Chain A
Amino acid sequence: MADTFTFELVSPERILKSGEATEVIVPGTAGDFTVLPGHSPVLSTLRPGVMDVTLDGAKTRIYVKSGLIEVDPKRVTVLAQTAYDMAEMDASRIADELKTAQDERAAADESDDELIAHTEAAIDALTRLGGKMDR
């Protein structure tokens, strides 16, 4: 089929999700972007944030904590270091993650711009998620 592409979410431990997807919204380091079938090949790193995947007709939200995405016209592979399905996340999990991110930010070397940007993105994304959960 022309209007889907193969989507794979792989963590170091195992393949977390795979299937036919129609749309993926990705939090790239240089900005969010949407992948539709036939997207031109891109290789991008990810910043911590939520990825929206329309997989096998159902929408799934996945929180990824740093990783890499490889986009081909027919295939998208996300190599995530850590990823959680949002359906399994609750307020306390988010609070835990937020705390870890804040600790990492506090411990970060001030000259390490990449790490600072990374942890701040995590804090930002998690704060927003936490806010949504409260409501």
Chain B
Amino acid sequence: MPSLKDLRNRISSVKATRKITKAMQMVAAAKLRRAQEAAQAARPYAERMDAVLSNLASRTNKEGASPLLAGTGKDDVHLLVVMTAERGLCGGFNGNIAKLARADAQKLLAAGKTVKIMTVGRKGADNLRRDLNRNIVERTDFRGIKQLFYTHAESVADKLLSMFDNGDFDVATLYFSEFKSVIAQKPTALQIIPAKVAEGTGEEVKTAGGEAIYEYEPDEETILRYLLRRNIGTQIFRGLLENSASEQGARMSAMDSATRNAGDMINKLTVKYNRQRQANITKELIEIISGAEAL
């Protein structure tokens, strides 16, 4: 049976923990709002880009197209770009992304493919290092960066493209967590090289052809080539933004339940403390009374 003093110390330490988790939850909530706004603000660019790209891709002939769209013709070497957070204490967020990437990596390895991993964010590297350390070819982290700008995504995209130009891989897939809502984040794999252009482009061509036939300056192929390269950066940027919103959402709900658990624990400990105190008082009374009776 713990003494009263032990219980008192225990209660005050849990109270301190609750204060911290509560504060972290509120900070995450504020950051979440900002991250959501950023994700929303970035949407128009990505949407226009997608529209133009799928329009162009469906017009040009796939045979002679850039390898970024048509692929290299092989799928021997896979590059997994695993994007995670820089910090922990956000529930299963980092673990879920790493789990998805690991499952895919193992599937590919079992199928006899070569797997290369590029990690963006420290936590993913930490998690995958245990069993896939040999496969990690590149690590990037954005530690100490307060706000994500496109230039950050671009630096990752540049690395990716220069690797692709050197023929270091055939297929690239992004792993990040899609932000569904504050309580739901879905780890997602998105293939970016060769680019998956929106399906059902057949109809779009008709409407585009009916309403507006574009003039291209310079020619279609040049624009398409430019766009495909640009698109990598845009997709990575989108992934990073989704990720940062998801991270804050996950942290918020993780800290919310931590705060609640701390509250429950304090209640339980307080009940125990009171019972113990009462027991002590009763014991002392009995001692006094029986002492008096003996006289």
Contacts and interface: CB of A to CB of B under 8 A. Distances in A.
A12 interface: yes
A70 B42 contact: no
A7 B38 CA distance: 22
A41 B214 contact: yes
Interface of B: 38, 41-42, 44-46, 48-49, 52, 56, 149-150, 153, 212-218, 222-223, 226-227, 230, 233-234, 237
Given A70-B52, A77-B48, A13 B226 contact: no
B222 A45 contact: yes
Interface residues of A, number: 24
Interface in A50-81: 68, 70, 72-73, 77, 79, 81
Contact of B215 (A10, A42, A77): A42
B45 A41 contact: no
A89 interface: no
B217 A42 contact: yes
Nearest to B51: A70
B222 to A, nearest CB: 7
B48 A14 contact: no
Contacts of B153: 12
A35 to B, nearest CB: 12
A40 interface: yes
Judged by DSSP, the binding face of A is strand
B215 A12 contact: no
A48 B45 CA distance: 19
Nearest to A8: B44
A68 B225 CA distance: 12
B48 A79 contact: yes
B214 A43 contact: yes
Given A12-B234, A77-B48, A45 B223 contact: yes
B213 A13 contact: no
A44 interface: yes
Given A11-B45, A12-B150, 10 more contacts: A10-B44, A13-B45, A14-B42, A40-B215, A41-B212, A44-B216, A45-B217, A45-B226, A79-B52, A81-B230
A40 B260 CA distance: 61
